[in-house]
Amino acid sequence: MVKLTPQTLKRLAGLEQDIGYVFKDKDLAITALTHSSYGDGRSKNANNERLEFLGDRVLGLLTADKLFAFDNGDEGSMARRLNALVRKETCARVARLVNLGVYLLISPSEDRQGGRDKTSILGDACEAVLAALYLDGGLGSAQEFYDSHWRAEIENVMAKSTKDPKTDLQEKASAQGYGLPEYAVLERSGPDHRPLFVIEVDIAGLGKAKGTGKSKKDAERYAALHLLENWPKQT
């Protein structure tokens, strides 16, 4: 466990101010901020991976509850919206809103490589903080954080078509005389129980786009979605 020094407590105080919550269990909160690289991987300090595991499930519950209350679509459309709201990129955007990267405990080498703004690190840390809020203050505290910082994400997702983006991309490409989209895995990272895929979609004569996800299927969907979002720029 990371020692509660004046420096770490100052770091935590900054986060508490930005998220509007004061942790009772300071050790728990510091653990949520501790990346596995801290201590250059040799330290026995607890890191935020276990909390990230729990936070992923808390996030899924809060999102499912929100969609069940406000989304009148079928199971398929709700599942696609849920996937969009719990993905790493979404969590990383929320993390940037609360300046989470500034407060992370990471190794100097990871810091030099831009770790404080890496989507994967920020996404995991955001889920870890959500878990810490849940453990420290109950579901209500996690709910308040979620309601405050996912509101714009929910509004954005609800405003979009619920059609599967891969289907939408293929239909649009075909209608405008392009070939079929081709998907390729560019990168697979993370442990077996928590993989992260980077996949690129390519449509000859149109362009390429990348997507990340916890499964190949999700990464393909996000790649297709990104290419659809940039469609006017490609033609």
Following CA atoms 209, 125, 144, 161 in sequence, which dihedral angle do they give, to the nearest 10 degrees? Answer: 10
Active site residue 56: yes
For every residue of 180-227, DSSP letters joined together read: --EEEEEEEES-TTS-EEEEEEEETTTEEEEEEESSHHHHHHHHHHHH
Q: Of the residues 52, 56, 124, 220, which is catalytic?
A: 56
Note whether 78 and 68 are within 8 A (CB): yes
- Write the CA distances from 203 to 13, 174, 181, 212, integer angstroms: 48, 10, 5, 18
Place of tokens 């501790």: 34
Position 141: which residue type?
S
Q: Of the residues 52, 127, 136, 220, which is catalytic?
A: 127
Burial class (CB in 10 A: 0-12, 13-18, 19+), 58: buried
Burial class (CB in 10 A: 0-12, 13-18, 19+), 10: exposed
Active site residue 71: no
Active site residues: 56, 127
